[in-house]
Structure 1
Amino acid sequence: MTRRRIRHAFYAAPALALIALFVYYPIVENVRLSLFKFSVFRPGMRYVGLENYRQALQDPVFWHALLNNVFYAVTSVVFQVGAALVLAAVLEELIGRRLRGVLRAVYFIPAAVSMTVAGLLFQFLYQPDAGLVNGALAAVGLDGLQHDWLGDAATSIWGVINMSQWQSFGYTTMLLTVAIQRIPRELYEAATVDGAGRIRTFFNVTVPMVREMTTLLIILTVSGAFLVFNEVMVMTGGGPANSSQVLGTWLYASAFTGDDMGYAAAIGTVIFLITFAAGALQLLHSRRKAVAA
């Protein structure tokens, strides 16, 4: 090993040590704890092997929470990546320069709002009697569509998902706008000379050229969807009747309400495996596309 490589390794060692201590060690320790049954109020730990994972497989609330996370991830990818990319392209290509800056600020403002504040705001909007949503429906003569949005098991999780899209949509739009600005203008000029319309140019130039950013956003969006916690706790607490539980809130309830710490650790391991697999598959798919191109 050359002196230069030794020097580089010396500089990187503190950062690697911190990552190992605060990232990888907790992951390994959580996996170890998931193999035990224990309580914070009683001493001792009982080794049970994979019993906590079998408990998860037989737990209907766990599967419902996982399904809610899947709904959350799919909706977030469609709106926070797909729709945001369309909006970013519109802002860059069709909107005037002055109006473009104003619209960027308008779309980004929700991202600056605290998650707790946003959750409380949408709680007021969804109020069945005095909420703005039901009030707007009544104002346009759609009284039959009025609903207790967060109090109904069929709509509670969707109320939370809608709030999340509202808050994060502008942030991802701004990131994609920056990616579009880095695309060489010559490519758009060449597409125009070849007779390509705006839609064809979008799919043949814009989408391929922002692949790296969209890959990163998909990974972050899917991971965030399976790590979601604050939104659900603030707006519904997982209710009614566990209908809006996600894996994060069910982990919390199992650990601090049910005092089943081993089962909570097993749920945490499942969350890690899902997010790791989703990120790895997306990176692999993106690299294969890049090689094929």
Structure 2
Amino acid sequence: MSLKRIKIIPILFLLPSLLFLGVFVYIPLIQNFYNSFFDFSVFSQVKEFVGFKHFVELFNDKVILIALINNIKYAVISVIFQVFIALVLAAILEDRLFRKFAPALRVIYFIPVMVSISVIALLFSFIYNPQMGLLNSFLELIGLEELGKPWLGNAGTAIYSVIAMSQWQSIGFITMLFIVAIQKIPKELYEAAEIDGAGKVRNFFSITVPQVKETMFVNVLITVTGSILVFNEPYILTNGGPGVSSMTLAVHMYQLGFFKDNMGYASAVATLIFLLSAIFAITQIRISGTGKDD
């Protein structure tokens, strides 16, 4: 086999994935950026060039600020639950005390991940129902009925109710990723720590956390970028309401494009979402040094 043929073979293996990425990712990204410089509707035959008008509008759009704050809330709460609490949960499930129950508990925690978001939204709509919902009924049962409220109809609680539903669905997936990482940690490290008198908490912070550092960085990346792109949960539960209190960037983009028929400005919002996701991803990779040898 000639040297030239050997060099071509890896390129042939990569070609299908490169074509797929080009057609479904990179070309649409370029097209979207191009569209953000024009005013047009879904069915318009012509596009009016407006330059950077839409990007200037981003800085004057109050809904963008509210949506960005909601996305930040989403990201912060998601990192707390889907990364840190998921890591603690994974460490508990891998502890010897829970070894008999761990397989069943893993299935229980992972079931929400496999359920359709539409079904979960319907379930939580019933839970949050102000008249006959399970949450208000439970608060009334334990004597805290004064805390009951229309969770999805209250501007102060709507976004947090949406976030809570998202954590319930997603924490199982991140927990499973941490479980896989913990299972790869050499048992000798824990045995040596026990000989030295270290307890479970010390083992967690001195062995488990450092050993799953790479997985933690990946999970933070998945969680935060997912929070920037989040659409399904707020759209199905509240459609950004009441008012714009639970609006996110993706929901705002969708409403601009398909309800207000302002595709040019919607493209600018989509560009903003992409830039925020890319900036965080690049920053996270540079800080974490993922993939680099120590």
Q: Smaller-chain TM-score range?
A: over 0.9
1:163 correspondence with 2:173: no
Q: Distance in 1 between matches of 2:283 and 2:192?
A: 34
Q: CA deviation at 1:288?
A: 7.7
Query: In structure 2, the residue corresponding to 1:98 is in which secondary structure?
Result: coil
**TM-score, with normalisation over the residues of structure 2?**
0.95
Q: CA deviation at 1:221?
A: 0.8
Contact 2:92/2:98 (8 A) holds in 1: no
Q: Distance in 2 between matches of 1:96 and 1:145?
A: 35
Tell me what 1:50 maps to.
52
Query: In structure 2, the residue corresponding to 1:95 is in which secondary structure?
Result: helix
Q: How does 1:235-254 map to 2 (within 5 A)?
A: 235-254=237-256
Tell me what 1:173 maps to.
175
Q: Distance in 2 between matches of 1:223 and 1:94?
A: 34
Q: CA deviation at 1:257?
A: 1.0
Give the AA of the match of 1:87. L
Q: Distance in 2 between matches of 1:270 and 1:254?
A: 14
1:134 correspondence with 2:136: yes
Query: In structure 1, the residue corresponding to 2:155 is in which secondary structure?
Result: coil
1:235-280 Cα deviation digits (max 9, x unpaired): 1111111111101110010001111101100110111111111111
Tell me what 1:227 maps to.
229
**TM-score, with normalisation over the residues of structure 1?**
0.96
Greater CA drift, 161-170 or 40-49 = 40-49
Cα gap change, 1:208/1:2 in structure 2, threshold over 3 Å: closer, same or farther? farther
Tell me what 1:111 maps to.
113
Query: In structure 2, the residue corresponding to 1:128 is in which secondary structure?
Result: coil
Q: CA deviation at 1:173?
A: 0.8
Give the AA of the match of 2:54. N
Identity among equivalent positions (%) equals: 46
1:6 correspondence with 2:3: no
1:143-189 Cα deviation digits (max 9, x unpaired): 11011100011110111000000011111111111110011101111
Q: CA deviation at 1:94?
A: 4.6
Pick from 102, 105, 130 the counterpart of residue 100 of structure 1. Answer: 102
Q: How does 1:143-292 map to 2 (within 5 A)?
A: 143-287=145-289
Q: Distance in 2 between matches of 1:187 and 1:98?
A: 22
Aligned residues: 292
Tell me what 1:81 maps to.
83
Q: Which runs of 5+ in 2 are unaligned?
A: none
Q: Distance in 1 between matches of 2:72 and 2:39?
A: 28
Q: Distance in 2 between matches of 1:16 and 1:241?
A: 42
Q: Distance in 1 between matches of 2:98 and 2:86?
A: 18
Q: CA deviation at 1:126?
A: 0.4
Cα gap change, 1:102/1:174 in structure 2, threshold over 3 Å: closer, same or farther? same
Query: In structure 1, the residue corresponding to 2:100 is in which secondary structure?
Result: helix
1:125 correspondence with 2:127: yes
Q: Which runs of 5+ in 1 are unaligned?
A: none
Contact 2:162/2:237 (8 A) holds in 1: yes
Give the AA of the match of 2:170. S
RMSD value over aligned CA atoms? 1.6
Q: CA deviation at 1:89?
A: 0.4
Q: Distance in 1 between matches of 2:89 and 2:17?
A: 38
